[in-house]
Amino acid sequence: MPRPLLAVLALAAVHMLVFDRGLGGDGWAGFALLESVADDGDIWLEDDHRGIVNGLVPGRDHHLVSQYPPGILVLDAAPFFAGRALGQALPEGEIELPPVGPVPRPVFVSAAAIVLARNLAVLLGLAWTGLALIRLGYPERTAAMAAGIAFFGGPLVFYSLVGMTHAPAFALAALLLWLLVRQRESGSVRLAFAAGAVAGLAVLVRYDAVALLPAALLAVSRLRSRTALLAGFGLPLLVLPFWWSASFGSWGLPSYGGDWSLSPASPWNVLFHPVHGLFLFHPALLFAAAGLVLAWRRPAISAVGAVWFLAVAFLHGGWSEWANTGGYGQRFLIDALPALALGFAEVLGRAGRAVRVGIAAAVLFGYLLFFAATGRLVEPPAPWPWPQRLGDYAPLVSDPPGPSELLDGLLRASFLLRALT
């Protein structure tokens, strides 16, 4: 592993160690499902959700089931059972597990093990992204910086911390990029099949990862390789009808909530809208998008990166829930971060001092928004738990926090520091 990339991974690990927020969001649905399988031998969750019903919907025979695909169970099973075994070997007792309250020690340790696994998935994703850029011919330092800026300058800076499925989905997207780069080098049909299988596994973790398929098909150049990629993509998805039948009593895709209405304006929703627009809350990614345009000297790679980015934006921009008003920022573009890292690498390879300073300032701006939100230095508008527009951060300018307020915010944002103090 190149030293510059190791340094980026170390910085990302420190960030996650300091600011980790525990298990949250759709992570609770997978956790409830694992507990139900382990304790009850079924997938009915009405007696396993511990009051957190995020993503739980009515299913077959009036049972409560998970609306999510089953792939995350495979990824979470090892840390879950390892954590449970470790917790059972420790002295009995209860530990506070936000937001559910005191839980038996094995429950706490198994949840913590899943969160740790999600953190490791992010690090793997950053490593695969950096290594892919190096194989494309970018210098090691440039590749490492591009991967690091994609992390610290994008929505993963928050969603690497909350135990949601965005972390493993990002890791699989990054692995897909690495496999596609290797496949273009050799033309290997096996690597094309492997790339398709990784994309299919990503869909088994999050349905919206289907947006990765167009770029993957564009990245391979021969009919035989594209056929192999499609075969690999479809193979993991063969389990879905059986999963839907077991959960909902129907072989077809159940309703996921909300609706899609795709139009040419769809990407604008997630990229520029005042509510959680990606480029407003994470302006550093504007440089990455510009880099994808500037990569004309690598036309094939530039096209793959642009299609990757726009397909993810187009798919999510047409969904009625694109604004993510109940969460922090524009999380739906996380699957595009490996492609945006390619844009950063292109910009960094050409940029002068002024552009590099601009990128650094944009990353710092996005990071300050993250810190102010997680440290509760600004109050979100009711009834939402997080700021929705840049205007919600106006008090930081009109009444800047002092050192003591910043320290209090750091303690509010960090479980670890609160525990240590």
Residue 408 is assigned to a structural domain of this protein: no
Give the least confident one: 23-27, 45-49, 300-304, 405-409.
Answer: 300-304
The token pair that represents 365 in the structure block: 């701006």
More confident residue, 415 or 135: 135
Q: Which is it for strands 101-104 and 56-58: parallel, antiparallel or unpaired?
A: unpaired
pLDDT over 70, % of the chain: 99
Environment class of residue 260 by beta-carbon count within 10 Å: exposed (0-12), middle (13-18) or buried (19+)? middle
Q: How far apart are CA 137 and CA 345, in angstroms?
A: 10
Q: What is the pLDDT of residue 320?
A: 87
What confidence tier does 300 reach under pLDDT thresholds 50, 70, 90? Answer: low
Q: 104: exposed, middle or buried (C-beta count within 10 Å: 0-12, 13-18, 19+)?
A: middle
CA angle 89, 95, 101 (to 5 degrees): 140
Residue 258 has pLDDT above 80, yes or no: no
Residue range 252-274: average pLDDT? Answer: 84
User: Which is more confidently placed, 102 or 233?
Assistant: 233
- Residue 72: domain span: 3-26+68-370
Residue 398 lies in a domain: no
**At 319, which amino acid appears?**
W
Taking residues 198-214, what's their average pLDDT?
Answer: 96
For the question of whether the overall pTM of this predicted structure is more than 0.75, the answer is yes
Q: Is residue 318 part of a domain?
A: yes
| Distance from C-alpha of 260 to C-alpha of 36, rounded to nearest angstrom | 32
In-domain check, residue 77: yes
Structure confidence at residue 100 (pLDDT): 85
Spatial CB neighbours of 354, under 8 Å, sequence gap ≥ 6: none
Confidence check: pLDDT of 259 > 90 = no
pLDDT tens-digit readout, 309-323:
999 999 999 988 899
Tens of pLDDT, residue by residue over 164-177, are 999 999 999 999 99
* Distance set, CA 188 to CA 180, 182, 197, 227, 338 (Å): 10, 8, 14, 12, 22
* Structure tokens that stand for 69 in this block: 């695909």
Is the predicted pLDDT of residue 65 greater than 70, yes or no? yes
Give the per-residue pLDDT at 8.
Answer: 97
pLDDT tier, 52 (very low <50, low <70, confident <90, very high otherwise): confident
Tokens 């009808």 appear where? 241
Question: Residue 404: inside a domain, yes or no?
Answer: no
Section 354-375 average pLDDT? 95
The proportion of the chain whose per-residue pLDDT surpasses 90, expressed as a percent, equals: 76
Mean pLDDT across the chain, nearest whole number?
A: 92
Within a domain: 46: no
Query: Residues 316, 75, 170, 16: what is their CA dihedral angle, to the nearest 10 degrees?
Result: 120
Q: Above 80 in pLDDT, residue 11?
A: yes
pLDDT at 55: 85
As a whole number, mean pLDDT of residues 165-190 equals 95
Average pLDDT over residues 265-282: 93
Q: Structurally, how many domains does the chain consist of?
A: 1
Which pLDDT tens digit goes with each residue over 113-139? 999 999 999 999 999 999 999 999 999
Phi, psi of 10 (to 5 degrees): -65, -45
Shortest CA distance to 144 belongs to which of 124, 127, 158, 125?
A: 127
Could you tell me if 28 and 54 are in contact, meaning their C-beta atoms sit under 8 angstroms apart?
Answer: yes
Any domain includes 59: no
- How many CA atoms within 13 Å lie on the side-chain side of 384? 19
pLDDT at residue 420 tops 90: no
At 296, is the pLDDT very low, low, confident or very high (cuts 50, 70, 90)? Answer: low
Confidence of residue 25 (pLDDT cuts 50, 70, 90): confident
pLDDT of residue 189: 96
Instruction: Specify the amino acid at residue 248.
Output: F
SS3 of the chain: the string is CCHHHHHHHHHHHHHHHHHCCCCCCCHHHHHHHHHHHHHCCCCCCCCCCCCCCCCEEECHHHCEEECCCCHHHHHHHHHHHHHHHHHHHCCCCEEEECCCEEEEHHHHHHHHHHHHHHHHHHHHHHHHHHHHHHHCCCCHHHHHHHHHHHHHCCCHHHHCCCCCCHHHHHHHHHHHHHHHHHHHHHCCHHHHHHHHHHHHHHHHHCHHHHHHHHHHHHHCCCHHHHHHHHHHHHHHHCCHHHHHHHHHCCCCCCCCCCCECCCCCHHHHHHHCCCCCHHHHCCHHHHHHHHHHHHHHCHHHHHHHHHHHHHHHHHHHCECCCCCCCCCCCHHHHHHHHHHHHHHHHHHHHCCHHHHHHHHHHHHHHHHHHHHHHCCCCCCCCCCCCCCCHHHHCHHHHCCCCHHHHHHHHHHHCHHHHHHC
- With contact defined as beta carbons under 8 Å apart, do 341 and 170 qualify? no
